[in-house]
Chain A
């Protein structure tokens, strides 16, 4: 069984490159293997850590694999949600309705040997549009209690558990 550890190595994954006046640009993303839910068999989804997204967004093709493990807020809480927590828009394709839910996840290291688990608040999209993979956003619990490190030039990224001193 993988261990919970203080440092989770992520992966700056590059899979296309082009040279512009001698400088290389890539399609590149920070990949995070994530287990959604807690039951067997595990629901394993390669996700993208995207601190530029305010809150984690999960496409229906993913969250419909574990609907019973999502904790939905009660009606009063839902009624009080502002519009920015009911609909999101993106460069990928107009406005998309969503529901807010609490989702247990485990974020694994790129070696799959260790992980940390948490419950996040996420936006569960009602259609895929161009959203093909979960985007692990800045808020909602993904990064809470963790320090996110990125050394771009060395292609290294990791999450580190915040110690009492920091």
Chain B
């Protein structure tokens, strides 16, 4: 797993470690509200993926929170828990997708 680097607010694909604590009280929300929060970040992740803005993370999982990439790494479980701790959110609050390595073999 890669720890967050220097924040660059203007680029959502740059790992940003400066997110605030979990002000959303994720666990207190009903299911629909939880889905909406996480869905928004999944949509962001896939938009970035489609725009080829995540190519630099090929072969890794990428974690997105509040519209920004907040971590990346090859071990999905470790990434989820580490980033959640760093960001002060519940692990299931994170949207995480796997970025295929377009420079490597196609994983069937």
Residues of chain A whose beta carbon lies under 8 Å from any beta carbon of chain B: 1-2, 13-16, 27, 33, 40-44, 46, 59-62, 64-65, 90-92, 108, 112, 128, 130, 132-133
Partner of A43, one of B27, B32, B92: B92
Q: Complex formed: what's the CA distance from A62 to B98 in Å?
A: 12
Residue-wise, chain B 10-40 has the 8 Å CB interface mask toward A (1 for contact) of 0000000000000000110011101110110
> Which residues from A are CB-within-8-Å of B31?
1-2, 40, 42
Q: Is the CB of B98 within 8 A of A133?
A: yes
Nearest-neighbor residue (CB-CB) of B51 within chain A: A15
Output the least CB separation between B57 and chain A (Å): 12
Q: List 30 A-B contacts (CB under 8 A).
A: A1-B30, A13-B46, A15-B50, A15-B100, A16-B52, A16-B100, A27-B100, A27-B106, A33-B39, A33-B42, A40-B27, A40-B31, A40-B34, A41-B27, A41-B34, A41-B92, A41-B93, A42-B35, A42-B92, A43-B92, A61-B77, A61-B80, A65-B77, A65-B80, A92-B108, A112-B36, A112-B39, A132-B76, A132-B98, A132-B107
Which bracket fits the contact residues of B? 20 to 34
Output the least CB separation between A30 and chain B (Å): 14
B75 at the interface (CB under 8 A from A): yes
> Which residues from A are CB-within-8-Å of B61?
132
* Extra 15 A-B pairs, beta carbons < 8 Å, given A42-B35, A44-B38, A62-B76: A13-B46, A33-B39, A33-B42, A41-B26, A41-B92, A44-B92, A44-B95, A61-B75, A65-B77, A65-B92, A92-B107, A92-B108, A108-B35, A128-B76, A132-B98
Q: Complex formed: what's the CA distance from A62 to B91 in Å?
A: 12
> Which residues from A are CB-within-8-Å of B77?
60-61, 64-65
> Which residues from B are CB-within-8-Å of A108?
35
B66 at the interface (CB under 8 A from A): no
Q: Is the CB of A2 within 8 A of B35?
A: yes
> Which residues from B are CB-within-8-Å of A27?
100, 102, 106
> Which residues from B are CB-within-8-Å of A90?
108
Q: Is the CB of A15 within 8 A of B98?
A: no
